[in-house]
Chains A and B, each alone.
Chain A
Amino acid sequence: MTNNKNYQKTLFTFTGWFVSLLLFFPIFWMIHTSFKTELDAFSMPPSFFFFDATLENYGIVQERSNYFHFSMNSVILSFGSTFLGLLIAIPAALAMAFRPSKRTRGTLLWILSTKMMPPVGVLVPLYLIFRDFKLLDTRIGLTLVLMMINLPIIVWMLYTYFKEVPHPLLEAARLDGANLWQEIRHVLVPITFGGIASTFLLSVIFAWNEAFWTLNLTASDAAPLTAFIASYSSPEGLFWAKLSAASTMAVAPILMFGWFSQRQLVQGMTFGAVK
């Protein structure tokens, strides 16, 4: 009986790892190929261990299309839009969590509903406005758009975190004579810091990955890494090693971010339905 159970458990573990291998393989393959020469990248059967690891692809990519320009844009856009979004969303989420009214839930759902609309529905007017105000291919314009895109998620996540703060705690602080600022500074922030940090992380990841708007509203000056990869994706696929290097550089920050924010990722992508 115990033997059978052990056997079963090993089988399940094996299946689990097999699936993870399938899921991770393309990512692994991409990183792996980025260290090969173009010639090795095509050699069949693929050499897993015996190849001359090279960094030349990274050098060529940087030389050809100035990776740092694009990554700088990615950093500015994703962090800028996130800071801006938090600035607007934190007071709003606080108000909804601590001064709820009959309409709070409705308001929140309306805000969230915008996230479900397909972006093509708002693309044309936005494009026209950007064209008239000379905002196309500017960092400011794109930062504002990315902020708007992520605002519903930011508000929703912050709201769910703030709502969990026990009210008696705040009342106790108030009874002890704390004013609003002290209440925020010494009670609220320490408790919700983790929540705000996760929201921040998630918003950065989303903004980083955003491709629809960056492809449509930028050309080169404000183009982030998603546009950079798209520009590398030649139809012949002859530069696979270089393309891999470019993709690896584009996703590396996210892979690291993702490791620290797995829970928040699920929570954010499900609009807080799953904790």
Chain B
Amino acid sequence: MKFTLVKDLRGNTLLRPLLGGLLVFILLFLSADIILKNDHIGLTIQTLSTTLYGNEEEYIEPVTFHFILELLHSDIFFMMMTLLTLGAIFSRLCEKNRLRILIINITMASALLDVLFLFGAYFFGPLFIPLWIGVFWIWHVGAFIMSLLSLFHLFAPKKALI
């Protein structure tokens, strides 16, 4: 986390490409996560409810509690590490305080709700499915915005930032 201490990040020839590379990897991670979730559990009301509750007509069994727990356990770890790093970079680069506090709050809170709503959908029924889909997209879009804004602030010429 040395980048939190360096004063002029844009002028630092070592940290600029390092952070740039990390941000590109975060963007790739977010894209791949969307594709994987769509394939693994589904991102529409229909596909997710088939995954969670099964479908007798198509002979599809519902997933087990272990499956949901293991999925969320590893997801929580990747979410917390990615969003913490992204939040720290974004806080350092974006100088508009209200905007950064707002985006960090929305992204992090919806990522937390993502975990809780998937549990809710599994235990309390389909009411939580659209809510889960909503917060899933909100935190992904929020993280995309944070990454892209950070990349912009890192590489855009000084004139463009004013």
A and B from one complex: no
